[in-house]
Amino acid sequence: MKAAIVESYDHPPCYGDFEKPTPQKGEALVKVSAAAISQLVRIQASGKHYVCHTPPFVPGADGVGFLQDGTRVYFAFPRPPVGAMAEYVVVDSANIVPLPNDLNTYVAAAIANPGMSSWAALTERTRLTKGESVLVNGATGASGRLAIQIARHLGAARVISTGRSEKHRNDMLALGADEYLVIDEATTVFTQQLHNVFSQGIDVVLDYLWGTPAECIMGVAKNAQKGGVAQRIRFINMGALAGANITLPANPLRSSGLELMGAGLGSLSTAALIRSIRQLLNSVVPLGLKIDCVVRPVASVESVWSTSTDARIVLSFDDATPSQ
């Protein structure tokens, strides 16, 4: 069968032939239609993620395809070494979600991973309650943009967004953010803005950046009070685009209401992740959730793999030459 293949960690996947998998007991064979190139998949293919496979393997954590009875489904965590970017995958039957008829195949493939990050973080990890306030740190990417919309849907009374450029302000506000804070290089203006925001109360921080911006937020959050006592603030990390490490003095934890946690593979059960994805996919059309995506044939994987774009790249198998 045809597939995108990681033959070396230091080279983009190439298009070629890979052995078709055979389902075992409890698994389903899925004929793949679409799979997105996500940040997670790129990191795994480079051998830098904490969950990696040994080359050669097919990358891809999830996608959209058809069961043998014709049912169109979303699937997650296909059995290695055949990831989602292959004509056929085998998947644990528990990791398959039937798709609503009105949800576009490519939109479903593009939105599942970035949308699930905030949906699972807010429902499974932080247990957001109606009326709480949410700060989305690093809101200008696909995951952050969805996080604004999802936080609103799940009951957030106030949503604050952050990003590195003023050019995103109107977009952030149009998506439902009440405020947009620009992370300046010196972080002096950013820090002052954070003081103003936290003085009005923040209950949950969804962090896609880590690094210096996260340090700034924690530095301000340690002084946040509510009713004369330290305010409880659930800080949940889901990415590290601004740096893999931070300096965290003990004082912010001992003298504050900060609760640090993460959301990612390993911190949530597979069942919880699939539950979140099911809820998300059933909400995309009713809520009007938006994501920019561009569709490219899987044969072009090597040339588009490192493309820098704000849109999510989705690989299509619909035009692939069928293999037996």
**Domains of the chain by start residue, with CATH:** 2-100+282-316 (3.90.180.10), 114-262 (3.90.180.10)
- What are the start-end ranges of the H helices in 98-164? 105-120, 142-153
What's the rounded Cα separation, in Å, for the pair 117 and 105? 20
- Above 60 in pLDDT, residue 77? yes
pLDDT category, 321, cuts 50, 70, 90?
A: very low
Give the span between the Cα atoms of 171 and 180, in whole angstroms: 10
With bands split at pLDDT 50, 70 and 90, how would you rate the model's confidence at 50? low
- Residue 322: predicted pLDDT: 38
How much of the chain, in percent, has pLDDT values that exceed 90?
Answer: 81
Helix residue ranges, H only, 125-261: 142-153, 169-175, 188-199, 211-221, 251-254
Task: Encode pLDDT of 222-269 as tens digits.
Answer: 888 877 788 999 999 999 999 999 999 887 788 889 999 999 878 899
Give the pLDDT confidence score for residue 236 in this predicted structure: 97
- Cα torsion for 23, 271, 282, 25, to the nearest 10°? 20
* pLDDT tops 70 at residue 151: yes
Question: Alpha-carbon distance 147 to 102, whole Å?
Answer: 22
